[in-house]
Amino acid sequence: NFSRVTEFILLGLSDRRELQAIFFTFFFLAYAMVLLGNLLIIVTVRTDPKLSSPVYFLLCNLSFIDICCTSVTSPRMLVDLLSQRKAIAFEDCIAQLFFLHFVGASEMFLLTVMAYDRYTAICKPLHYTAIMSRQACWVLVSACWAGGFLHSIVQTLLTIQLPFCGPNKIDNYFCDVPPVIRLACTDIYVTEWLMASNSGLISLVCFLVLVTSYTFILVTIRVRLTEGHWKALSTCASHVMAVILFFVPCTYIYLRPFSTFPSDKHVCVIYTVLSPVMNPLIYTLRNKEVKASMWKL
């Protein structure tokens, strides 16, 4: 695309050496927790025949996506925290941007599917096994990955067609569309609107669908209060916590073009690091079956 920029400089979360040492310790422990926690969930679900229902199949896929999502940004960030010069090649930056949006959008769609699973289990219990069959689950998960791929392709194409010929400093700890396109030496008015309508609207629409599904669930719970419904509601409560941790920061970052704040990179920590860390804790601490299977394992 005739760009003269061959690399970008990631400014990171801070340029103070003492803070970088603290950040390295924190993010290294967080990354280790993400890997160990989510791998434990995957192994537990795969080895225990009792955890064969659709909700655990979707949870297993969520854990895999969380590992992929944090692995796109955390290893590079840990290396940069120990380096004096935090440079990333142009091609590596675009690759990081692509995979981040690939797995990020896939997780959004998967969380929406998980909300649909809970809605079906509570509001249509007699039809649950027919609607959420194993074949249907595979189709839904495949659709989540396909949707994430299409979204990521659009975001990547919006970025690589821009010329970069001047500033090359990214005020973040990873390459993302908003900070990267603002370095382009051309008018990005249309690009920013396309970015907001793609990433921002996907985040907002998925979030509204989730809120709608939980509203139906709460209405159903008020009418029929049984032990089974309370158990399902408990699962939904943990799902809501995961949804808030992931969707609110994403909507904040991607739904407002033409503006950027220094605090944006700190908000990004929530959905790239904290959300993958919290998901294993949220889904296991509030689920007796998973906890029991983990103790046996």
Q: Output the DSSP codes for 218-278.
A: HHHHHH---HHHHHHHHHHHHHHHHHHHHHHHHHHHHS-TT---TTHHHHHHIIIIIHHHH
The rounded distance, in Å, linking the Cα atoms of 218 and 34 is 31
Tell me the percentage of the chain whose pLDDT exceeds 90.
24
Q: Which residues pair with 23 in a beta bridge?
A: none
pLDDT tens digit sequence for 91-141: 999 999 999 999 999 999 998 998 888 888 888 888 888 888 889 999 999
Cβ(174)–Cβ(73) below 8 Å: yes
**Rounded alpha-carbon distances, angstroms, from residue 12 to 104, 175, 178:** 20, 11, 15
What radius of gyration do the chain's Cα atoms show?
A: 20
pTM above 0.85, yes or no: yes
pLDDT above 70 (res 235): no
Write the class of the CATH domain 7-295: mainly alpha
Mean pLDDT (the chain, rounded): 84
Query: What local confidence, expressed as pLDDT, does residue 286 receive?
Result: 64
Structure tokens at 225: 């209060």
- Sign for the CA dihedral angle at 181, 262, 252, 237 comes to positive
Strands (E), 11-98: 87-89
Query: What local confidence, expressed as pLDDT, does residue 225 receive?
Result: 57
pLDDT tens digit sequence for 180-231: 888 888 888 888 888 878 888 888 888 888 888 888 877 777 666 555 556 6
